[in-house]
Amino acid sequence: MTSKAIRDDAKVLVTGGCGFIGSNFVRFALENRPGWSIINLDCLSYSGNLENLTDIEDDPRYEFVKGDIRNMEDVEPLVKRCDAVIHFAAESHVDRSILDAGPFITSNVQGTQVMLDAVRRVKSDGGKAPVFFFVGTDEVYGSLPLDQPELMFTEETPIQPRGVYSASKAGADLLVQAYHETFGLDTRTTRCSNNFGPYQFPEKVIPLFVTNLIEGQQVPLYGDGLNVRDWLHVDDHCEAIIAVLEKGAAGSIYNVGGNNERTNLELTHLIIELMGKGKDMIRHVEDRLGHDRRYAIDPTRLKGEIGWQPTRSAWPEALEETVKWYVDHPDWWKRVKSGAYREYYEKQYAGR
C-alpha cells in the first residue's frame, strides 16, 4: 500500500458524472473532500441527466463539460489539467446491449482506450500523469450457480463475461490492466456489485418498479425471478472509490460488495410491500436472453487492505429509504420518463 495517492486539493476529472453513480459520486466527493475540485465530462447520452446535479451546479469547485470520451479532442485537454481520472462513463443497461451492441463497444471499450491514451500522452510528454481509476463491474466474472451458495467472486476469479454489456466492460477492464503493465500507468480498478440509491435511470429494476407502481402499472419480472444480485447502496460504492484512490496501490484491483444477496423475486416482493400493493401487480415476463443466474462478491481484500466497510446498505431499511426517495421526487422521474429532462442542457447552458 502507498501513502495517500492524491492531494487534498486535487483536481479530479469524472467521466459520466451525469449518470446514476457518477452524479452521486460528484455530490458525495464535494461533500466529503471539500478541497477537491471536479470536472464532469459527459456526452449526455439518454442516461445522462444534468438535472441530477442542479443542487451543486453553481458550486465554484464544480465544472461541467459536454464531451465524448471517444473523442481525443474532448478528452486530452481535460486529462492534462487533472490529478486523477475517475472513469464511470459507459453504456450500462444489459437489456439495451442485447438490442444493439454497437454503443457498448464504442463507448465502453474504445472510449476507455481513448481515456487511457490521453493519460499515456501526458506521461510520455514528461508531465505528471493522473491516476486512472476504472469503475468496473462484478458482471465481468460471469455467472455463479444457485446450488453452490458458498461460491463467490474474488479478484482471482477468471474474467468470463457471458453478455454484451459484461464483455464490453471486461474489454475495458483488461485494457486498464494492460496499460498499467505495458506503459506503467498508475491505475486502480474496482469491480462492484449492483448499486441502488437516488437518481437511477428508471429503466433499471428498482426505480422502474417503484415508478410503475405509483402510476398503477404492473411490474415486469423476468423468468422465475430466482436470479440473485448482491445489492450495495451507491454511497457505499462512492466511499470505496475514494478509499481505493487514496489508499490503494498502483495497479490494484478490488471487489466491492455488501454481502447482500437477494433474488429478484425477494426484491420485488419487498418493493411491493413497501408501496402497500399486492402481488397481483407482478407480471411474469419471458426471461432476459443469457440472464446470469447469480452474482456474489467477496469484498475481503477491500475490507482487509483498505479498511472499507459498507455503512449505508443495511436491508431492508436502505431499500425503504431509496423507495421513499422516488416516491418523494415525482418531478425528477416524471421528467425522465417523459423525456423533458433532455431540454435542461439548452435551458441551462445555451449561450454560456
Ligand X SMILES: NC(=O)c1ccc[n+]([C@@H]2O[C@H](COP(=O)([O-])OP(=O)(O)OC[C@H]3O[C@@H](n4cnc5c(N)ncnc54)[C@H](O)[C@@H]3O)[C@@H](O)[C@H]2O)c1
Judged by CB under 6 A, which of 10, 29, 69, 115 binds ligand X? 69
Contact between 326 and ligand X per CB under 6 A: no
Query: Which lies closer to ligand X via its Cβ, residue 90 or residue 306?
Result: 90
Minimum CB separation from ligand X for residue 281, in Å?
A: 24
State yes or no: residue 70 binds ligand X (CB under 6 A). Answer: yes
11-15 and 282-285 as β-strands: parallel, antiparallel, unpaired? unpaired
Tell me how far apart the alpha carbons of residues 206 and 195 are, in angstroms, rounded to a whole number.
10
Nearer Cβ to ligand X, position 130 or 258? 258
If DSSP codes are grouped into helix, strand and coil, which group holds residue 336?
helix
Minimum distance between the CB of residue 247 and ligand X, rounded to whole angstroms? Answer: 20
Binding status of residue 43 toward ligand X by CB under 6 A: yes
Nearest to 290 by CA among 193, 191, 164, 205: 164
Minimum distance from residue 318 beta carbon to ligand X (Å):
14
Question: Where in 164-223 is the site for ligand X (CB under 6 A)?
Answer: 169, 192, 194-195, 201
Sheet holding 131-137, edge to edge: 62-66, 37-42, 11-15, 84-87, 131-137, 187-192, 252-256
- Selected range binding ligand X among 44-52, 278-286, 289-297, 306-314, rule: CB under 6 A: 44-52
* Residues involved in catalysis: 138-139, 165
Total of chain residues touching ligand X, rule CB under 6 A: 30
Q: Residues 316, 318, 324, CA angle at the centre, nearest 5°?
A: 100
**Cell numbers that stand for 11 in this block:** 483536481
Cα–Cα distance measured from residue 260 to residue 152, given in angstroms and rounded to the nearest whole number: 12
By the rule CB under 6 A, 157 interacts with ligand X: no
**Which positions lie near ligand X, rule CB under 6 A?**
15-16, 18-22, 42-45, 47-48, 68-70, 88-92, 107, 111, 135, 137, 169, 192, 194-195, 201
